[in-house]
Structure 1
Amino acid sequence: TRYSKSDDALLLPLIENLCDKRATNGYRRITAHLNRQLKSGEHAFVKVNPKRIYRIMRLNNLLLAKHTGRVGDNRAHEGKVITLHSNTRWCSDGFEIGCWNKEKVRVVFSLDCCDREVMSYV
């Protein structure tokens, strides 16, 4: 049996309307917009719990697709940065060497990513 409260039928059109206007918003943002709308006093509700909105949206297929963290297989990064021409992409790094006399030697440099030439160092 599916769980539903009697007032869910009253909330569903309001949620669908917000989802139509804000197609990229998840249930938390929809809840915030809905509570702001309910606060204006047009409806019988005072405030709605995000878990309830999540349940209503899940039962009516209104949720966004879950983010998996992967951008796509066509953008897989193997750890190599390739540039076709010099002077289009640079990188920089620095390191510090502690000496026996407690002094420190700091080195900072910048490289051209195409030919790995050191452009500058300090």
Structure 2
Amino acid sequence: MTHIVAALGVLRSNLIARRDVKHTGRTARYNKTENMCLLPVISQLCSERGSNGYRRITARLNRLLPKRVNPKRVYSLMKEHHLLWHCYIGRPDERCHAVKIVTLKSNMRWCSDGFEIKCWNKDIVGVAFLDCCDREAMRYVVTTGGITAVIVQDLLVETMEYRFASRDQLPDAITVMTMTTGTNQPAT
């Protein structure tokens, strides 16, 4: 301890007295009795219009009450009692593709999906036809331009020839469903 006292330039008795004293710090959360009076008013304002943030609630409180309220105080109260809005980051939490297709027979409904891969030099667009029973990517087309109705119709014919090559006619009528999550493509 003598080296520490010499380095700090303080008396040794001072350090011993500080070491032996038990410090009582601040409470975990600053709590004012006035906060409990403000909370019902804040809750009522939030229930009237839930889209108001803490700044708008502070402005309305300052109009209602004779004594002004600090926005930081309103923010901490609203945060403590879960009255704040969640921060909007501009995108949904996850991509939702929970579509379930049910058919009575296999190969009755087909669906197409289109997507774009943006490269540094050109846009490449790919379209794949999927059978709803086997979920097999049977045929696809890749183009650097836009997808036209003729390209989609040719792709559908090529897919049917691939799927039913050994048969003279289709087993049942086929319904084509287009997905709108990707590129705009006309329904055929």
After TM superposition, the score normalised by the length of structure 1 is: 0.54
Q: Structure 2 residue aligned with 1:52, among 73, 77, 100? A: 73
Matched pairs, number: 79
Q: Which residue of 2 aligns with 1:67?
A: 88
Distance 1:9 1:83, change over 3 A: same
Where do 4+ consecutive residues of structure 1 move more than 3 Å?
77-81
Amino acid at match of 1:36: R
Cα 1:70–1:21, aligned 2, differ >3 Å: closer, same or farther?
A: same
> Highest Rg: 1 or 2?
2
**Amino acid of the residue matched to residue 54 of structure 2?**
Y
| Aligned Cα root-mean-square deviation (Å) | 2.6
SS in 2 for 1:68: coil
Give the aligned residue type for 1:83.
Answer: N
Identity of aligned residues (%): 44
Structure 1: gaps of 5 or more residues? 39-44, 86-122
Select 2:184's aligned residue among 57, 70, 83: 83
Name the CA distance, whole Å, in 1 between partners of 2:67 and 2:54. Answer: 18
Amino acid at match of 1:7: E
Q: Which moved more, 1:29-38 or 1:18-27?
A: 29-38
Which residue of structure 1 aligns with residue 36 of structure 2? 9
Q: Determine the C-alpha separation between the residues in 2 that align with 1:32 and 1:78.
A: 48
Query: d(CA) in 2 for partners of 1:67 and 1:83?
Result: 28
Q: Give the whole-Å Cα distance in 1 for the aligned partners of 2:91 and 2:57.
A: 25
Q: Which runs of 5+ in 2 are unaligned?
A: 1-26, 97-115, 119-124, 126-181
Q: Select which of 49, 52, 59 maps to 1:25.
A: 52
Q: CA deviation at 1:68?
A: 2.2
Q: Distance in 1 between matches of 2:82 and 2:93?
A: 24
Q: Deviations over 1:10-58 (max 9, x none)?
A: 11110000011011111111111211222xxxxxx42111100001111
